[in-house]
């Protein structure tokens, strides 16, 4: 015998149909509010509003199409990282959120940014914090991955072996197709590049503490017993002088593979569909060089 029959059953059935209709209508509304799809991820009108609000917190304005471009670029970055195992974790976001709160040089602006999101902390973390973490993690992975840096790693290893055998650094650099340079370290800071001068008005450190420790452990004329690695290069280093806190070096440098060409190639594999016709037209008009615009409209 059915659990519900007669009048009660009809009432229950009607209520169930009403609930399904409401739920279905909500789902359709959510789909209609999806302005763009990046892979399987939806970028909605609420996301666009948040991104515009963040710019307003900084005292600038951002058109809807420009806000969507920023959000799509952030989503593409996330999609590129996924197949190589680079993802932003909750632990990453917890740490970065605490760092931002502690080190922000404009706490009043940060407060305004948080006001934009209000109680929607998930959106604050995913829209504002996560792209910054992802950018750093993806660059770090690419710069340190042995497969991605296979060519310069092989070249610097060859150079190291030749230099360790007593060959002249400049001749080794020529033989391996690498760069030879002589450097002076010692001043506490150096002028920052133009692009970074606003962040380092007093200059940047000449060398990392780890590199200085390495030089301190060497005698003039001696060669470092390891290949020196940083974000942009591999180096074979010989200390040629150390006097009064000033270090002079001879170096063979292998530049690391650049990130941008690799990223552009992987970005081409990410499907982007702009579902809002008005935004699609505005993006095409104002950002004609974007390579991820898909001509098909769903």
- 269 and 223 in a common domain: no
Average pLDDT over residues 26-34: 49
Q: What pLDDT score was predicted for residue 119?
A: 96
Task: Please state the domain count of the chain.
Answer: 2
Does a structural domain hold residue 1?
no
Q: What pLDDT score was predicted for residue 194?
A: 60
- 230 and 159 in a common domain: yes
**pLDDT-derived band of residue 154, with 50, 70 and 90 as boundaries?**
very high
- 270 and 124 in a common domain: yes
- 273 and 206 in a common domain: no
Does a structural domain hold residue 44?
yes
Average pLDDT over residues 141-167: 97
Instruction: Answer yes or no: is pLDDT of 103 > 80.
Output: yes
Q: What pLDDT score was predicted for residue 261?
A: 96
Instruction: Answer yes or no: is pLDDT of 1 > 80.
Output: no
- 38 and 67 in a common domain: yes
Does a structural domain hold residue 6?
no
Instruction: Answer yes or no: is pLDDT of 40 > 70.
Output: yes
Furthest C-alpha separation in the chain:
99
3-state secondary structure the chain: CCCCCHHHHHHHHHHHHHHHHHHHHHHHHHHHCEEEEECCEEEEHHHHHHHHHHHHHCCCCCCHHHHHHHHHHHHHHHHHHHHHCCCCCHHHHHHHHHHHHHHCCCHHHHHHHHHHHCCCHHHHHHHHHHHHHHHHHHHHHHHHCCCCCHHHHHHHHHHHHHHHCCCCHHHHHHHHCCEEEEEEECCCEECCCHHHCCCCCCCEECCCHHHHHHHHCCCCCCECCCCEECCCEEEEEEEEEEECCEEEEEEEEEECCCHHHHHHHHHCCCCEEECCHHHHHHHHHHCCCCCCCCCCCC
Does a structural domain hold residue 252?
yes
d(CA 206, CA 7): 84
Does a structural domain hold residue 22?
no
- Percentage of the chain modeled with pLDDT above 90: 70
- 269 and 233 in a common domain: no
Does a structural domain hold residue 271?
yes
- 109 and 52 in a common domain: yes
- 269 and 136 in a common domain: yes
What is the per-residue pLDDT across 283-297, written as a single tens digit (0 to 9) for each?
999 999 898 875 444
Q: What pLDDT score was predicted for residue 279?
A: 95
Give which of 258, 261, 293, 270 is closest to 83, Cα–Cα: 270
What is the per-residue pLDDT across 174-229, written as a single tens digit (0 to 9) for each?
999 999 999 888 755 555 556 555 555 544 446 788 888 899 889 999 999 999 99
- 169 and 132 in a common domain: no
Does a structural domain hold residue 25?
no
- 108 and 202 in a common domain: no
pTM for the model stands at 0.78
Q: What pLDDT score was predicted for residue 29?
A: 36
Average pLDDT over residues 134-143: 96
- 238 and 160 in a common domain: yes
- 136 and 184 in a common domain: no
Does a structural domain hold residue 250?
yes
- Domain span including residue 124: 33-145+263-286
């Amino acid at each position: 015998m059915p659990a519900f029959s007669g009048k009660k059953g009809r009432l229950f059935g009607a209520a169930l149909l009403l609930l399904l209709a409401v739920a279905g209508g909500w789902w359709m509304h959510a789909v209609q509010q999806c302005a763009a799809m990046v892979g399987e991820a939806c970028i909605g009108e609420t996301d666009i509003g948040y991104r515009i609000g963040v710019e307003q917190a900084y005292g600038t304005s951002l058109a809807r199409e420009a806000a969507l471009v920023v959000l799509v670029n952030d989503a593409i970055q996330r999609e590129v990282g996924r197949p190589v195992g680079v993802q932003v974790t909750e632990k990453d976001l917890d740490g970065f959120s605490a760092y931002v709160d502690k080190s922000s040089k404009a706490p009043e602006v940060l407060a305004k940014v948080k006001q934009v999101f209000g109680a929607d902390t998930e959106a604050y973390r995913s829209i504002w914090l996560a792209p910054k973490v992802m950018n750093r993690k993806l660059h770090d992975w690419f710069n340190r991955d042995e497969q991605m840096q296979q060519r310069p790693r092989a070249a610097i290893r060859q150079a190291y072996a030749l230099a360790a055998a007593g060959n002249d650094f400049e001749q080794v650099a020529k033989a391996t197709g690498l760069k030879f340079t002589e450097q002076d370290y010692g001043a506490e800071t150096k002028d920052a590049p133009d692009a970074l001068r606003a962040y380092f008005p007093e200059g940047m450190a000449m060398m990392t503490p780890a590199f200085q420790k390495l030089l301190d452990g060497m005698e003039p004329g001696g060669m470092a017993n390891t290949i020196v690695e940083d974000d942009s290069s591999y180096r074979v280093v010989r200390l040629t002088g150390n006097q009064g806190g000033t270090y002079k070096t001879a170096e063979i440098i292998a530049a690391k593979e650049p990130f941008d060409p690799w990223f552009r190639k992987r970005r081409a594999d990410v499907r982007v569909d702009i579902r809002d016709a008005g935004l699609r037209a505005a993006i095409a008009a104002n950002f004609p060089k974007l390579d991820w615009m898909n001509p098909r409209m769903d």
